[in-house]
Copies of this chain bind each other. A is one copy, B any other.
Amino acid sequence: MSFVEKVRAIQASSRSLLCVGLDVDLEKIPQHLRSLPNPVLEFNRQIIDATQDLVCAYKPNLAFYEAMGRQGLFSLYETLKLIPKSVLTIGDAKRGDIGNTAERYAHSLFDDFGFDSITVNPYMGFDSVQPFLSNPEKGVFLLALTSNSGSKDFQRLKVGAKPLYEKVVHAAKKWNDKENIGLVVGATHPKELQRVRKIVADMPILIPGIGKQGGNMQSAIRWGCDKHGQLAIINASRSILYASSGKDFAGAARTEAQNMVEEMRRILPS
């Protein structure tokens, strides 16, 4: 099964486009967990228990785990073991390097950590992306137009008549012979999301930037989904993880995730 087929299958059975970003910050997790031997792992365990029937994906950002040193990486390994096979894992690492080095990252992320998919920075071009594409079951989300304000600095520069990010989108489409490439487009750019979806009718689009960053759920779904109401993967991190800072954090996370999924189902043509 190619990566895009896997995304379709998981979204069909979960009836959810929601991805929870497991960007866990030791300083933000509830006080009562902090005295445990591994607070981050326990936090993730409870978040995953509480939300796994509501999501299509979990997306840990590696920076948060690397910042905690070796203990953090251990927590990430163990967290991945807790995620059921029926939910997609996205390693948000934004790697990109020359061929022989990219192979090392691919091995680390796909084989060692065991992620189903990862994010990759396209700036270094095809031979930096190719080593991540060898297994059709493993997915690569190429950064196209990111949700942050700095996306204007280079991604929106005009190359001839088109912005640079569209060049990335067209390249991704051309490189997608194994059907395992997706794109990252921030919910903060609804018009551009619509444009990207027109170019890539059948590629997954990972959409961060809902909530605190200002992106809107309705337009993310309307412009991000394909014609079957699939392939948009809508990420939320802090609004779910830190819905409550008390002992009820997991229940509060579930309520928040449930609200988002219900909103998605209202918006989506069924």
Binding site for B on A (CB under 8 A): 23, 61, 63-64, 66-67, 69-70, 73-74, 94-99, 101-102, 104-105, 107-108, 112, 121-129, 143, 146-155, 157-160, 164, 167-168, 171
Query: Is there an interface contact between A125 and B96, defined as CB atoms closer than 8 Å?
Result: no
Alpha-carbon distance A63/B101, docked complex (angstroms): 6
**Most central of A129, A154, A155, A159 by chain B CB within 10 Å:** A154
CB distance from A106 to the nearest CB of B (A): 9
**Closest CB-CB distance, A98 to chain B, in whole Å?**
4
Q: Find out whether the CB atom of A101 lies under 8 angstroms from the CB atom of B155.
A: no
Of B66, B70, B127, the residue contacting A70 (CB under 8 A) is: B70
Closest B residue to A175 by CB, please name it: B153
21 contacts between A and B (CB under 8 A): A63-B101, A63-B108, A66-B112, A67-B104, A67-B108, A67-B112, A69-B108, A70-B70, A94-B95, A94-B97, A94-B121, A99-B148, A123-B154, A124-B146, A125-B146, A125-B148, A125-B150, A125-B151, A127-B148, A154-B167, A154-B171
A101 & B143 in contact (Cβ 8 Å cutoff)? no
- CA A97 – CA B21 in complex, angstroms? 14
In the bound complex, residues from chain B placing their C-beta under 8 Å from that of A168 are: 154
Known: A124-B143, A148-B98. Is A104-B66 also a contact (CB below 8 A)?
yes
Beyond A69-B112, A148-B125, whether A104 also contacts B63 by CB under 8 A is: yes
Q: Take A63-B97, A73-B73, A158-B159 as given contacts and tell me if A124 and B108 are in contact as well, using a CB distance cutoff of 8 Å.
A: no
Tell me how far the C-beta of A45 lies from the nearest C-beta in chain B, rounded to whole angstroms. Answer: 20
List, in ascending order, chain B residues with CB within 8 A of A63's CB. 95, 97, 101-102, 104-105, 108
In the bound complex, CA of A104 to CA of B26 (Å):
12
Query: Which listed residue, B74, B97, B108, B123, touches A61 by the CB 8 Å rule?
Result: B97
